[in-house]
Structure 1
């Protein structure tokens, strides 16, 4: 009896486990003022919950961080942003993003 309960609990935990994936993000710097990063759900046919961490670097080497999270439906995208503190003196020159998603 105890063995059946253990097997039942193990099956239950395995059936509700989440599957994690990383989506590739594309980033654009807009005139040194801000950067936009976008990751899209074109590969999966169901909604996924994603967290995106965006990092931008200025011409003087300062890092700016942004975060975005939410449900991304099939064919839709999630966008994240970072902004320069003073784009006229120290503009953004590069941005990158890491997007982790779960089913």
Structure 2
């Protein structure tokens, strides 16, 4: 019985979650994407993949990972090479988290 309970707690501790991130463009120079842990009362480990695209169609990618405590957020960034000639126009991010 104890082994069964311990195996259930191990399965529950590796639960995977997907979050949509909020992203915004700062003057075409960079994009910030953010995911927050407001739904859970314990820390979660998150990996964020950020994609930004410029006005000429070039893609920029960024990665961020870390522990997100309850009530805290994780932010990821992508930057344009030349924001005057080819600014960022869109960004999105996918965040995968687990307990």
| Larger Rg, first or second structure (1 or 2) | 1
Question: Could you say what the CA RMSD is over the residues aligned between the two structures, in angstroms?
Answer: 1.7
Corresponding position of 1:37: 33
Q: Distance in 1 between matches of 2:47 and 2:79?
A: 19
Poorly superposed stretches of 4+, deviation over 4 Å: 10-14
Task: Give the structure-2-normalised TM-score.
Answer: 0.90
| Partner of residue 57 from structure 2, selected from 55, 61, 65 | 61
Output one character per residue of 1:53-94: Cα deviation in whole Å (capped at 9) or x when no partner: 000000000000000000000000000000001111100000
- How many residues end up aligned between the 2 structures? 97
Moved more, 13-22 or 42-51: 13-22
Give unpaired runs (5+ residues) of structure 1.
1-7
Give unpaired runs (5+ residues) of structure 2.
none
Alignment of 1:8-27 (within 5 A): 8=3, 12-17=6-11, 18-27=14-23
